[in-house]
Amino acid sequence: MKSLRVLVLEDHDFQRSFAVNMLRQLGCQEVFEAVDGAQALSVLDKVGKVDIALCDLCMDGMDGLEFLQRIGHSALVHSVIISSSLSADLRRTVQQIVSLLGLKMLGDVGKPMKAPALNNLLKEHLCGSGVVSPACAPVELANEDEVRGALRKQQLKAWYQPKVNLSTGEVEGVEVLTRWQHPASGILSPAVFMPVLEHCGLLDELLFAQLDTSLRLQQQARSDGFVLNLAFNLHVTQLINSDLTSIVKRILKLHSAAGSSLTFELTESGLLESSVTSLETMVRLRMMGCQLSIDDFGAGFSSLQRLCQLPFNEIKLDGEFIRTLKHEPRCRAAISSTLALGKSLGMSVVIEGIENKEEHDLLLGLGCTLGQGYFYARPMTGEELLRWLPARAGSGNKAEM
């Protein structure tokens, strides 16, 4: 293993010595130590920057939390490993603080430390992984004229990610996403162009084009024996367009499609204040038979209030709850509570971000019905979807499961 410079912050003499010896046995030749944050800062002044700080949190004198705040954004420490006997919920919050401070969070080895867990994190550092700080470089947005041209030339394509019944494996619908099929740069992420479309007031034009394309695809899938609900992301600013519902109704009529075959997903963070027009739009969409889904549920601060006040009939639980499902009882409790809430309110619940069979099985055990994520399928083009559906059905509706 390439030699790493590691600083150990631990006020307990035996545990500090144990950590230092373990790091040396794992191949770290330069290991420095400190009994508290103040001494750690002094060590850094003398030896310069280190690759990793292995940090306890509760210490006499300057504790680990204050030390992390002092060295955040300083470039004196590249990555952090937490070693603490604090409860899991507190350690999880500290991990968020570390990332917000501009440091890379490698992981949490707990106490007592185990050599295999620590060795894995050291290898992750050498491979450049770990939890990336949100202080990374922002996405470079596309030129406004280019985006307008892409929309005009129909380069902004609809892609589809299936929603799956966890019990049966059957595909019950798809979320309609957007990818830019750039003639020179290939497939571009929505992060590059969606903010530009919003700024230019072009989200409705994109939505109506996607509706037309996706309803044609829905008809093709139905002729092959597959009934798909289409879910579209709707920005809160689009709700103030008083013509939105009449245009949606016209497009549905053009394709002889029912409103019940559509779902509109709205992110709760944009719904803090609702105008009369936006509320009327939501009601009219429901009157047409469309489903309204509150997207990224649990990621904002007004979820329950929004559920009580606005006419949603689906909850889409934020994928972050899945990340620590296996290890965090609180996440399991939050998912179970959301499922119970949905049932009591007569609302369906969709779980986002399912990436492996273990997560699938855990969620199925909690009573989840609908899920979406890479475990089932990644977003794909319409042509790929029409090939994927019968292939999945031919394998017993449980492809990749």
The DSSP code sequence of 104-132 is EEEEE--SS--HHHHHHHHHHHHTT-SB-
Percent of all residues in the chain with a pLDDT value above 70, rounded to a whole number: 92
Average pLDDT for 315-340: 86
pLDDT at residue 107 in the model: 86
In order of 7, 162, 321, 353, 360, the CA distances from 373 in angstroms are: 39, 8, 13, 5, 10
Summarize pLDDT for 109-136 with one digit per residue, the tens.
888 888 888 988 888 888 764 444 444 4
Average pLDDT for 195-222: 96
Backbone torsions φ then ψ of 265, nearest 5 degrees: -100, 125
* Domains of the chain and CATH, by start: 5-126 (3.40.50.2300), 144-394 (3.20.20.450)
pLDDT at residue 92 in the model: 77
pLDDT at residue 224 in the model: 95
Percent of all residues in the chain with a pLDDT value above 90, rounded to a whole number: 61
Average pLDDT for 276-291: 92
pTM attached to this predicted model = 0.71
What is the spatial order of strands in the sheet that 50-55 belongs to? Answer: 30-34, 5-9, 50-55, 77-82, 104-108
pLDDT at residue 328 in the model: 78
Under the banding of pLDDT at 50, 70 and 90, the label for residue 190 is very high
273 flagged as catalytic:
no
> Is the pLDDT higher at 113 or at 382?
382
Q: Are 337 and 371 in contact (CB under 8 A)?
A: no
CA angle 52, 91, 62 (to 5 degrees): 65
pLDDT at residue 227 in the model: 96
Average pLDDT for 191-215: 95
Give the DSSP letter string of 46-112: HH--EEEEEE-S--SSS-HHHHHHHHTTSSSEEEEEE---S-HHHHHHHHHHHHHTT-EEEEE--SS
> Is the pLDDT higher at 385 or at 269?
385
Region of poorest pLDDT, from 101-110, 135-144, 181-190, 197-206: 135-144
- The CB density around residue 80, as the number of other CB atoms within 10 Å, is 28
Under the banding of pLDDT at 50, 70 and 90, the label for residue 293 is very high
Q: Which of 352, 355, 358, 400 is catalytic?
A: 352
pLDDT at residue 271 in the model: 61
Under the banding of pLDDT at 50, 70 and 90, the label for residue 310 is confident
pLDDT at residue 38 in the model: 93
The Cβ-side half-sphere exposure at 147, using a 13 Å CA radius, reads 24
